[in-house]
Amino acid sequence: MFHKEGHRIVLFSSIGLVAILLLLDHFIANFWIQKILMISFLVLYLLVLYFFRNPKRSTEINDLQIIAPADGKVVVVEEVFEKEYFKDKRRQVSIFMSPLNVHVTRYPLSGIIKFSKYHPGKFLVAWHPKSSEENERTTIVVENNKAGEVLYRQVAGAVARRIVNYAKVGDKAIQGNDAGFIKFGSRIDLFLPLDMKINVKLNEKTVGGKTIIATV
């Protein structure tokens, strides 16, 4: 199953692949060169399909838990000063997504969307310490009665050039549901209250909609 953000790209890629294979078959006489080129384009096509995959995940909704908003690897677990919204100290947990990870963004908790803002910016590598503040990004805050307000930030990377954010102020977020998409490598930052218990460690792999990041 493909994410809706990839439907057009998958369609055009499919048409393009058929056209390229027909052209190679018609114009390239050398058998081995023809086959090598065909296999190369087929591999690129399969990578596009793989990138836009959207596996079904069943999330057990729990207001006492913050779940991973994306697949990837934990690259930051530290106390920081959050400048944009809270303007106080928070616990930051960041998840880096390589181009091979599922790039669907999922709501880390259920609640009401209190804040949602897009910021144009740079395209530093996603693991750069300043990427959370200087890169193209969106900032979303979800509030519920148990966890309070939790901020998550979609951050574009050196390759990612398009962030898709479905969160709108006043809408209801449902934990684990589709909240957006980041194309071609990126990162997600979570900013949590200091009194939450963090359940993940550096370099730990996360599964969006499944891995429990923190508990109230």
In the block, tokens 């790039």 appear at 103
- The active-site residue, picked from 94, 110, 132, 186, is 186
Query: According to the model, what pLDDT value does residue 158 have?
Result: 58
What pLDDT score does 130 carry? Answer: 58
Supply the pLDDT for residue 92.
96
pLDDT per residue as tens, the chain (216 positions)? 787 887 888 899 999 999 999 999 989 999 999 999 999 999 999 988 887 888 888 899 999 999 999 999 999 999 999 999 999 999 999 999 888 888 899 999 999 999 999 988 665 655 555 556 667 889 999 999 999 999 999 988 655 557 899 999 999 999 999 999 887 668 899 999 999 999 999 999 999 999 999 999
At 209 the pLDDT is 95
Q: What is the pLDDT of residue 90?
A: 97
Q: Could you tell me where the beta strands, DSSP code E, fall in the chain? A: 65-67, 72-82, 88-97, 104-106, 111-119, 137-144, 148-156, 163-165, 172-173, 178-182, 186-192, 197-198, 205-206, 212-215
Which two three-digit tokens encode residue 93?
Answer: 């947990």
d(CA 183, CA 126): 13
Give the pLDDT confidence score for residue 203 in this predicted structure: 95
Q: What is the DSSP letter of 6?
A: G
* 176 token code pair: 């684990």
Report the pLDDT value the prediction gives residue 171, as an integer from 0 to 100: 97
pTM of the model: 0.85
Q: Is 116 a catalytic residue?
A: no
Phi and psi, residue 159, nearest 5°? -100, -40
